[in-house]
Structure 1
Amino acid sequence: MSAFVITVDGPAASGKGTIATALGRLYGLPVLDSGLLYRAVGVGVQRRGADLDDAQAAAAVAASLKAEALDDPDFRTRAAGEAASRAAVHPQVRQALLAFQRAFAEQPGGAVLDGRDMGTVICPQAPAKLFVTATPEVRAQRRWRQLSAQGEAVSQDEVLADILRRDERDSGRAAAPLRPADDAVLLDTSEMTIEQATDAARRIVEAARAG
């Protein structure tokens, strides 16, 4: 296929990562999980002994980030998700990661970008934009299962509280708040299986390609 960029935005545990991965496989496109970038920044700030509320410290970590460092399993933990949400509020951090993400999107052939501001800030001209969501309760259950499988001892109520807190922080921040792009197609996966959600996403992308 010719150069084609697909953005998949949405809140935590909505299914956007699974959908982005499936679309990348289907269309033979590289996939960027931008959440990992912010998780890497958050964990990096903590490893340096700095404060997550220190915008300059967080921006310094973001500016030094390398793609090959994103495979660290520490970035997949509950704590890393919380750290990412705190680091992402800083405009300096988002600016430092902007070029990284846009360069990824501009690869020959295109790319799939998974995040919270891919369709609104990073690639506003992308021809195919999805905004994936689900109820907080469904998302909490999904994330709880994931964390339990990783061996993290946490209750579903605690995970729901985390998700509600992150939703408020991500939607309320001044820099690139979480919101659907005006031309994004909303996909609610609350009542869908993985197969149903990925097929619905494929149909959305096919409609964008045809249009």
Structure 2
Amino acid sequence: MIIAVDGPAASGKGTIARALASRYGLPHLDTGKLYRATGLAVRLSGGDPGDVAAATHAALHLDPELLDDPDLMSSDNAQGASIVSAHPPVRAALLERQRVFAGQPGGAVLDGRDIGTVIAPHATAKLFVTATPLVRAQRRHRELAAKGDSRDLAAVLADIEARDARDSGRSTAPLRQADDAALLDTSELGIDAAVQRAIALVEQAIAQAHSLDGQQQV
């Protein structure tokens, strides 16, 4: 069973994906971390995330230890990750790694921006998790404030909107809801309510898949 969870930054998709992985006993991959690690590798080498060649080289020779680097989830690194993720050669370099994870025995849960459209279009269940830009900015602002980051809400909102534009406007694997993905808007939902709604949507997808299998066997 493969569960694909897509959505923009700070929509809650990571929290939901981890909860689903725990619920169904499946391994989980936050695919955004691969792009964050790539962006971080470029920064550590003194390169420019906008340099396609440098970013592609970093993706092809990605050091797994960077996935645990303390700077991986910083707001500064998020911008670099968003930039490198727009390069088609970078996405191609990381594509197979994600598909192998999705295809392991028993299945997996993956969250990102192109899981249901590119990485695992055959996923058993697909969710597209979203929320309004302002709500997402407020969530990210609270996270940053808790870490001692003093930037104001307006700056965080501008970053969110810029990332949305890059993610949705890139030529390769843009952020979009798959035609067969269930929409989950978390703007007015707390964490527990969002997770319960996600579980209900996955259960519906599983039941539908079983129904189709039964019809094919008949």
**Short-chain TM bin:** over 0.9
Quote the Cα distance in structure 1 between the aligned partners of 2:194 and 2:151: 27
Summarize deviations over 1:147-194 as a string: whole Å, max 9, x none.
Answer: 111222211111000000000111000011000011000000000010
For the 8 Å contact 2:41–2:62, the answer to whether it is kept is: no
- Does residue 39 in structure 1 map to residue 36 in structure 2? yes
Per mean C-alpha deviation after superposition, the further-off stretch among 59-68 and 132-141 is 59-68
Amino acid at match of 1:191: E
Alignment of 1:31-110 (within 5 A): 31-110=28-107
Aligned-residue sequence identity (percent) comes to 60
Query: Gaps (5+ residues) in structure 2?
Result: 209-218
Could you tell me which residue of structure 1 aligns to residue 163 of structure 2? 166
Match of 1:10 among 7, 10, 13: 7
Could you tell me which residue of structure 1 aligns to residue 120 of structure 2? 123
**Corresponding residue pairs, total:** 208
State the Cα distance separating 1:67 from its structure 2 match: 3.8
Secondary structure at the aligned position of 2:54 is classed as helix
State the Cα distance separating 1:69 from its structure 2 match: 3.1
Per mean C-alpha deviation after superposition, the further-off stretch among 190-199 and 146-155 is 146-155
State the Cα distance separating 1:136 from its structure 2 match: 0.3
Amino acid at match of 1:9: D
State the Cα distance separating 1:68 from its structure 2 match: 4.3
Quote the Cα distance in structure 1 between the aligned partners of 2:3 and 2:80: 27
Q: State TM-score, norm by structure 2.
A: 0.93
Per mean C-alpha deviation after superposition, the further-off stretch among 119-128 and 64-73 is 64-73
* Pairwise CA RMSD: 0.9
Amino acid at match of 2:101: F
Amino acid at match of 2:161: L
Summarize deviations over 1:83-142 as a string: whole Å, max 9, x none.
Answer: 111001100000000011011111111100000000001001111000000000000010
Could you tell me which residue of structure 2 aligns to residue 199 of structure 1? 196
Q: State TM-score, norm by structure 1.
A: 0.96
For the 8 Å contact 2:43–2:49, the answer to whether it is kept is: yes
Could you tell me which residue of structure 2 aligns to residue 186 of structure 1? 183
Per mean C-alpha deviation after superposition, the further-off stretch among 200-209 and 151-160 is 151-160
- Does residue 210 in structure 1 map to residue 207 in structure 2? yes
State the Cα distance separating 1:66 from its structure 2 match: 4.1
Secondary structure at the aligned position of 1:113 is classed as strand
Could you tell me which residue of structure 2 aligns to residue 23 of structure 1? 20
Quote the Cα distance in structure 2 between the aligned partners of 1:153 and 1:206: 41
